[in-house]
Structures are given as C-alpha cells and as structure tokens.
A = this chain, B = another copy of it.
Amino acid sequence: MTTDSPAGKSPPPGKRADARRNRETVLAAAAEVFVTSGVDAPIRQIAARAGVGMATIYRHFPTRADLVTAVYRHQIEACAEAGPNLLASADSPFDALREWIDLFVAFLVTKHGLADALQSDNDRFAALHDYFLDRLLPVCAELLEAAVEAGDIRPGTQPYELMRGIGNLCIGRDNDPRYDPRRLIALLLQGLRQPHAS
C-alpha cells in the first residue's frame, strides 16, 4: 500500500511509452490550468488543454488529489527538505521555524485555491490533505520541538494544530491588499514566543 501505488509517485517505468508520455502531458496541462483556474478547475478543461480524453486523466490520477499532489510534489519535497537545513543554518531554532513557515506560506499563497482545497471538508481532497501531513508534519514537529528545547517558544503547541492554522490563514482570495496572512502568522509566532527565562 504505502510502497507503490498512492498519490503521484514518479512516472512508473513499467508502463507503455505512450502512457508515460500522456502522463507528462497531463501534468503539464494541469499545472498551467491550475495557475489560471485554480486547483478546482474542471477536469474537462485540463483534458482539453492536454489534448486527451477525460478518462486518460482519471486513469493516471484516480482522484483530483492525486493530480494536484503530482503537480506540486517537487515543491512539497523541497519544503520538507528545507526544514533540517534551516535548523542547521539559522541563528536559532525559532528563526528556523519562522523561515520554514515563510517558505510554506509562500508556497501556499502562490497556488490559487490550494490552501482552500487543503482544508476543505470535500472528500475529493482528503488524500491531498494526508499527503501534506505525511510529508510536512514531521518537519514542523522537529522545528517546533527544537524551538521548545531552546526555550524560544512555550511548550504545548501541537504541530498539527499549528500547520493547519497556518494553512487556514492562507485561505481566500489572492492579492487582497487588506489581508496579508503573513502579518497574522507573525502575530501567532509572537504569541508562541516564550519570554526568555532569566
């Protein structure tokens, strides 16, 4: 189960050449469509852009979450891998946490509708939610724990709650000058901060 079938995985080499080609075509088309129409774009639209039938998309990516996951897989991986690096390079665990959250937020806000989809109670996106959690929750937990141990922030915050809260704050129409999730997230981090014990 966990080893060979879920979500996007890299192109399985055991498939026929035309199938592999189509998979890439669909991925490219989906990426383009997601930019303009959001991750909720009609499958028909993606199929049309890719010049394939809808069934082809459903065959390669059984659920919408699988497609979205495959499109953004590289960026999610990059975010996950940045965690330990930041912890090593930043001035403090708290700074590492803050910078990592910056990365996460930057990713979310540039993908139209991604944050919405992540938290939507729509079953279509459940697998996407799970994938984010599988990949990023441990990273967040590690950063959080390091910051707690360093005495930078107060203990007791659950990584899941923090990540979901951040995700939630990123929801909504893009480019509204009156609302910048980063400001609220900065406030949240401020509230998390431990007054340094003397």
Interface residues of A (CB under 8 A from B): 113, 116, 119-121, 157-158, 160-162, 164-165, 168-169, 171-173, 178-181, 183-184, 186-193
**In the complex, chain B residues whose CB is within 8 Å of the CB of A164:** 172, 179
Closest residue on chain B to residue A186 by CB atoms: B191
> Shortest CB–CB separation between residue A116 and chain B, in angstroms?
7
Q: Which 10 A-B pairs have the closest CB atoms?
A: A191-B191, A190-B191, A187-B191, A165-B184, A121-B173, A119-B172, A168-B168, A160-B178, A168-B171, A168-B169
Closest residue on chain B to residue A178 by CB atoms: B160
> Shortest CB–CB separation between residue A17 and chain B, in angstroms?
40
**In the complex, chain B residues whose CB is within 8 Å of the CB of A191:** 186-193
Closest residue on chain B to residue A190 by CB atoms: B191
**B188 touching A121, Cβ below 8 Å:** no
**In the complex, chain B residues whose CB is within 8 Å of the CB of A178:** 158, 160-161
Partner of A121, one of B116, B120, B193: B116
Closest residue on chain B to residue A184 by CB atoms: B165
**B168 touching A172, Cβ below 8 Å:** yes
**A180 touching B168, Cβ below 8 Å:** no
Closest residue on chain B to residue A156 by CB atoms: B183
The docked-state distance in angstroms from the alpha carbon of A189 to that of B181 is 15
Q: 24 interchain pairs (CB within 8 A)?
A: A113-B121, A157-B187, A158-B178, A160-B178, A160-B179, A161-B178, A161-B179, A161-B180, A161-B183, A161-B184, A165-B179, A165-B181, A165-B184, A168-B168, A169-B169, A186-B191, A187-B188, A187-B192, A188-B191, A189-B191, A190-B191, A191-B191, A191-B192, A191-B193
The docked-state distance in angstroms from the alpha carbon of A158 to that of B184 is 10
> Shortest CB–CB separation between residue A117 and chain B, in angstroms?
11
